[in-house]
Structure 1
Amino acid sequence: MLVPALAALVCLGTAPGAEAQTLGDLTRGIKKSGKGTALFQTVEFQSKTFKALPQWARVVRSARRDVRSFRPCVQDASQCQSKQAKSWRAIVTAARAMSRKEKLIAVNKFFNRWPYKLDREVYGVSEYWAGISEFMRRSGDCEDYSIAKYYALKELGFKESELRIVILKDRIRNIGHAVLAVYEPNDILILDSLSNLILSHKKYKHYVPQYSMNETTRWAHIKS
């Protein structure tokens, strides 16, 4: 694991992208869809609008452009026009013949190699969600790892409904953090930038999700 220990302790002071949102903002107009057995043992509420998450809406647009631009490189190495495209080709081609579990391990390890960097250091602002190409070129922080993993797994055949980026509170370090949740038939697995281990969400008693999202839906979470 190449995430610097100090950086891991200061991952995020608040939930990323939520500076102007309250729990009321995130739950307004959405419906309950869990009974304390959902992600990280919470009750969750879902909505189909991203008005409360403008950074995510922007990232979705940029990430889709990135993936489309990388595909010629994936198909033919001579078409690779950037280091980011070559990196994308490396993980997609290496993992596409793997089993589902092997893909998760490979993708998690691959992107965890990028050095952790604060948004203030890279982008000059307190909070910025990076697209895939931006992250692979300049690196980033918690949610940026999760975004790259999300789209890599989609390219490797995982369904959108099986993936969520989760913004949460780490109660041990008393900081905000972000991970990728992967929904399996009998469990939810967590890909974390702080570790190459992939564990069940039930193992993370100190993680309290605030909200999560994929490209079609967002969920607000309340600890039951």
Structure 2
Amino acid sequence: MLNPPPRTDNEPPARTVRRAGPWIPALAAWLICAAHQASATYPFDAGEMLGPPGALPPWSEMLERHQAQIANVEACIDDRDACPRRARALHVIVEKGADLPRDKQIQLVNRYVNRKTHRYDRRRTTHTDAGKVVRISHWKTLWEFMERGGDCEDYATTKYFLLRRLGFAPEDLRVVVVYDRRYREHHGVVAVRYDSDNTWLLDTDNHIYRRNKPVEYRYVYAVSELGIWDHDVRVR
């Protein structure tokens, strides 16, 4: 998965994310959390694009696994009886959502995905050339999440792919990492560009924030099939 900035061992551990597990700090050295206020709505057209998805291996590896599992996903969508029990919601979501208007599709996906079991990520530890200890978690694919549940970034990734399956364009979707100033922790949400001047944020507690986000959220960075974005001091 894509993670918050690295920390050293003598720093306090991150707190548990609301309803969706811990964000374990570990982004590549070039992504540094900037201390700034975020804008009221997610700025799709702002922030520096750092590179293609392959620039961050944990994210790009998840995208590759997702492509390898597409046949399983589509078979499940086509025939509910072909699904493992825990993945049957895939069929239900796509069948129910196919003919719904855009806003109802978003609500359906958010509600169904948030029902899945939260599970803490397995983590591994590595050391950078600078001697910092970096903790890297594992991004789950849509299929992996439906079978086993996951962390907050896995909820966000699953919503992303389900909305893609329902016809949303990749240009209108991002998995966004925010810093929650109230809880002093990182958290994963999905940004959906609803129209030209309105972005919705899908959270793990069933909230959908239209136009305005919680005041305690500060945008840090985002990922999609198209790239990686750093929301630096220019994004307010």
For normalisation by structure 2, the TM-score amounts to 0.75
Contact 2:20 2:151 in 1 (8 A): no
Q: Distance in 2 between matches of 1:133 and 1:106?
A: 18
Provide the residue aligned with 1:190 in structure 2.
201
Provide the residue aligned with 2:231 in structure 1.
221
State the Cα deviation string for residues 181-219 of structure 1 (Å, max 9, x = none): 0012221100111x2121135232211122101101211
Give the SS at the match of 2:76: helix
Q: Distance in 2 between matches of 1:85 and 1:99?
A: 24
Q: Distance in 2 between matches of 1:164 and 1:133?
A: 19
Provide the residue aligned with 2:150 in structure 1.
140
Provide the residue aligned with 1:8 in structure 2.
18
Task: Pick one of 141, 144, 163 that aligns with 2:173.
Answer: 163
Provide the residue aligned with 2:92 in structure 1.
90
Provide the residue aligned with 2:104 in structure 1.
102
1:158 alignment partner AA: F
Q: Kindly tell me: are residues 147 and 161 of structure 1, through their superposed partners in 2, closer, same or farther at Cα, counting changes over 3 Å?
A: same
Deviation at 1:52, TM superposition (A): 4.4
Q: Kindly tell me: are residues 171 and 199 of structure 1, through their superposed partners in 2, closer, same or farther at Cα, counting changes over 3 Å?
A: same
For normalisation by structure 1, the TM-score amounts to 0.79
Residue 49, structure 1, aligned to residue 49, structure 2:
no
Contact 2:53 2:224 in 1 (8 A): no
State the Cα deviation string for residues 84-115 of structure 1 (Å, max 9, x = none): 54221111111111110000000000000012
Give the SS at the match of 2:140: coil
Q: Kindly tell me: are residues 135 and 73 of structure 1, through their superposed partners in 2, closer, same or farther at Cα, counting changes over 3 Å?
A: closer
Q: Kindly tell me: are residues 43 and 95 of structure 1, through their superposed partners in 2, closer, same or farther at Cα, counting changes over 3 Å?
A: closer
State the Cα deviation string for residues 124-169 of structure 1 (Å, max 9, x = none): 8862111112111111110000111111001101111110001121
RMSD, aligned α-carbons = 2.8
Give the SS at the match of 2:88: helix
Identity, in percent, stands at 26
Deviation at 1:20, TM superposition (A): 4.6
Give the SS at the match of 1:117: coil
Greater helix content = 1
Contact 1:21 1:52 in 2 (8 A): no
Deviation at 1:41, TM superposition (A): 9.9
Residue 208, structure 1, aligned to residue 206, structure 2:
no
Provide the residue aligned with 1:32 in structure 2.
none
Residue 177, structure 1, aligned to residue 187, structure 2:
yes
Q: Kindly tell me: are residues 66 and 44 of structure 1, through their superposed partners in 2, closer, same or farther at Cα, counting changes over 3 Å?
A: same
Give the SS at the match of 2:188: strand
Residue 72, structure 1, aligned to residue 75, structure 2:
yes
Q: Kindly tell me: are residues 9 and 65 of structure 1, through their superposed partners in 2, closer, same or farther at Cα, counting changes over 3 Å?
A: closer
Q: Kindly tell me: are residues 42 and 201 of structure 1, through their superposed partners in 2, closer, same or farther at Cα, counting changes over 3 Å?
A: farther
For structure 2, the 5+ residue unaligned runs are: 1-15, 33-38, 126-134
